[in-house]
């Protein structure tokens, strides 16, 4: 079991990744993926604008790359750190991939997505239970999103 300080350390890496992505013209949403031994194995960010793909969210991009890299559709044991609460599409993809846990910073924007929070969806994830914890460096993640997100 990781300490809260570890969760914050990984979230800081995700915030850094979002900051760098934003400077390159991407939306400021990022993910850091950590394996069962607490090692960062992947970082990614939203690429919707550059790929003209509305599903190119940080979580989806990570799942696509990691499945290919690790040659498996089962990503059990991996933990995602998302700067913003995963949307329903990303949550479903993470659950299908058997991701073990997701820690997020800021809650989803209240007007942005369907009213299906990751926390609510996790209650239905009976086949592949997924731990969902929000509020990791929430203020920093929210400040970053409000400062950098331009649609």
Among the listed residues 130, 105, 106, the one whose alpha carbon sits nearest the alpha carbon of residue 119: 130
Catalytic residue among 8, 19, 59, 146: 59
Does 57 bind Zn ion (CB under 5 A)? Our answer is yes
Active site residue 59: yes
Least distance to Zn ion, CB of residue 58, Å: 8
Of the pair 11, 90, the CB lying nearest Zn ion is at: 90
**């934003």: which residue's tokens?**
22
Of the pair 89, 133, the CB lying nearest Zn ion is at: 89
Of the pair 9, 89, the CB lying nearest Zn ion is at: 89
- Given the rule CB under 5 A, which of 3-11, 20-28, 49-57, 94-102 is the region that contacts Zn ion? 49-57
Least distance to Zn ion, CB of residue 91, Å: 8
Least distance to Zn ion, CB of residue 5, Å: 27
Residues in 78-117 that interact with Zn ion by CB under 5 A: 87, 89-90
> Which residues contact Zn ion (rule: CB under 5 A)?
57, 87, 89-90
Residues labelled as active-site residues: 59
């Amino acid at each position: 079991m990781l300490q809260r300080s570890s969760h914050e350390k990984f979230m800081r890496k995700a915030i850094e990744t979002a900051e760098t992505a934003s400077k390159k013209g991407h939306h400021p949403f990022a993910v850091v993926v950590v394996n069962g031994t607490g090692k960062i194995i992947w970082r990614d960010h939203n690429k919707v604008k550059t790929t003209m793909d509305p599903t190119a969210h940080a979580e989806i991009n990570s799942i696509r790359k990691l499945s290919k890299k690790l040659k498996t559709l089962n990503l059990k044991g991996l933990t995602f750190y998302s700067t913003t609460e995963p949307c329903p599409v990303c949550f479903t993809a993470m659950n299908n991939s058997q991701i073990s846990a997701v820690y997020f910073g800021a809650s989803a924007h209240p007007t942005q997505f369907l009213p299906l929070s990751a926390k609510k969806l996790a209650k239905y994830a009976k086949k592949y239970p997924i731990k969902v914890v929000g509020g990791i460096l929430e203020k920093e993640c929210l400040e970053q999103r409000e400062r950098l997100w331009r649609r």
